[in-house]
Amino acid sequence: MKQLTLAFALLASIGLAQAASHEHDMNHDMAAHSEHMTMHQGMGVVKAAKAGKLQIAHEPIPSLDWPSMTMWFDLNGHAGHGIQIGDRVHFEMMQNEKKKWVIEKIEKQ
């Protein structure tokens, strides 16, 4: 949650009075933002891994109209810990501001 960290850093750097008035706008922005950040569910098998990324041969993802394919996903935070190559997984992902697909949650099936 880089954005949250940034938001808190911002809040900390401005005065309390300003922070109070800023809060409403920030909440509003976050609410609007979350509408774009739709979570999608996928199933697949982990094919490869590198720092902060997993390659998954995923099944079709109806919510995105994606066929099955093998692709790399970014991992958010601790997502992916304990997951190994060859694991069959269920995952939840969303597209970030840079249009990259990021796995927020992944678990072995």
Token pair 């678990």 is found at 107
CB of 96 to Cu ion, least distance (A): 16
- Cα 79 to chain centroid distance, Å, stands at 9
The one-letter amino acid code at 83 reads I
CB of 21 to Cu ion, least distance (A): 43
Q: Spell out, one character per residue from 36 to 65, where the chain touches Cu ion: x when CB under 5 A holds, - when not.
A: ------------------------------
Choosing from 71, 77, 90, 97, the residue that interacts with Cu ion (CB under 5 A) is 71
- Cα 57 to chain centroid distance, Å, stands at 18
Number of residues lying near Cu ion (CB under 5 A): 2
Complex with Cu ion: residue 59 or 87, whichever CB lies closer: 59
Spatial CA neighbour of 49 closest among 72, 78, 68, 70: 72
The H or E element containing residue 52 is none
CB of 103 to Cu ion, least distance (A): 12
Beta-carbon contacts of 87 under 8 Å, excluding residues fewer than 6 positions away, are 45, 46, 108, 109
Residue number of the CB atom closest to Cu ion: 71
User: Which residues contact Cu ion (rule: CB under 5 A)?
Assistant: 69, 71
